[in-house]
């Protein structure tokens, strides 16, 4: 979803991009987005692994210029986004940071499962 030209969230997911210099960007928590549990866990897990995270608004143009894009949700965990409105994000494939964050999250979920 877009508000005032900025990406907010999906219907039941949080949006992320990875900039050309490998900074993971996601909208900061606030009234503009729902505070997703998966989003919160992925941000924390990335920070623990010393990956660079910025919580700030970004545009669709920023996402199209990004190296990678992905969403998080309780149902898909970490899911790569390879195109937006038919236009490739990065090289049009799921990127290595997205893949790594998915692996990290799945390991975390398995370790905390009851």
2-112: CATH class: alpha beta
Mean pLDDT for the chain? 94
114 has pLDDT over 80 = no
Domain ranges of the chain: 2-112
Residues contacting 12, CB < 8 A, separation 6+:
73, 74, 75
Residues contacting 31, CB < 8 A, separation 6+:
none
This prediction has a pTM of 0.94
């Amino acid at each position: 979803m877009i508000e005032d030209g900025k990406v907010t969230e999906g219907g039941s997911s949080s949006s992320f991009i990875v900039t050309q210099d490998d900074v993971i960007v996601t909208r900061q928590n606030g009234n503009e987005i729902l505070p997703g549990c998966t989003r919160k866990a992925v941000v924390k897990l990335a920070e623990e692994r010393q990956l660079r995270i910025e919580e700030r608004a970004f545009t669709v143009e920023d996402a199209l210029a990004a190296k990678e894009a992905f969403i998080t949700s309780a149902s898909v965990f970490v899911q790569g986004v390879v195109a937006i409105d038919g236009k490739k994000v990065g090289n049009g494939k799921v990127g290595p940071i997205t893949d790594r964050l998915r692996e990290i999250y799945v390991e975390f979920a398995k370790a905390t499962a009851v």
